[in-house]
Amino acid sequence: MTQVFIALGSNIAPEHNLLEAVHLLATHCRVLAVSPVYETAPVGTLNQPDFLNAAALIETDLPAADLKTRVLQPIEQALGRIRTADKNAPRTIDLDIALYGEAIFDLGSRHIPDPDITRYAHVAFPLADLAPDLRHPETGQTLSAIATTLPGAAMRLRLDIALSPSCSRADKIPA
């Protein structure tokens, strides 16, 4: 079994779609933990709603390519993800393999570990919440050290949203 960190993001019905994505992930693999949710400004295409971002730590026996094509992409499709030429366009859900164990490799056009870990707070902070002392396979830095180097002022921790594969769709932490 391999421990895999999945980055999650949504800005179309994000509370619903993030929770549904975690529920669907749990039907295909063991979800060990889910980070807190962060509200973040969009990157690239700015004229769109803010995103909700989180990360999930899962355990799977699937190779990375199968995880992507047999689990992540079907979940995205089930939740209405439409891919356009604009990779920063609004989306119902985005599920990306951020870390696949300690492996370093290319999966199609994507590099694992995801380069966005060291570029964007909305990826680094949720990962650091799950495994602050985990070392990035390429840089050797801990995830918490990476997160502290990235500007996170535009992010807002959303304590009113709880993602868990075992909670009902209506579960929320009272404000």
Q: Is residue 172 situated within a structural domain?
A: no
In degrees to the nearest 10, what's the CA dihedral of 17, 27, 82, 52? 30
Whether residue 42 lies inside any domain: the answer is yes
Q: Catalytic positions, please?
A: 81, 91, 94, 96
Which structure tokens are listed for 7? 């980055």
First-to-last C-alpha distance (Å) of the chain: 37
* pLDDT the model gives residue 168: 35
Q: How many domains does the chain have?
A: 1
Angle at 13 between CA 11 and CA 18, to 5 degrees: 80
Tell me the pTM: 0.91
Q: Which residue has the tokens 């570990």?
A: 113
User: What CATH number is attached to the domain comprising 90?
Assistant: 3.30.70.560
What is the tens place of the pLDDT at every residue in 84-120?
777 777 889 999 999 999 999 999 999 999 999 999 9
In a domain, 128, yes or no: yes
- Residue 21's domain comprises 2-158
| Beta-bridge partners for 54 | 8
In-domain check, residue 54: yes
25-71 tens-digit pLDDT: 999 999 999 999 999 988 877 788 999 999 999 999 999 999 999 99
Omega within 30 of 0 (cis) for the link into 115: no
172 within 8 A of 37, measured Cβ to Cβ: no
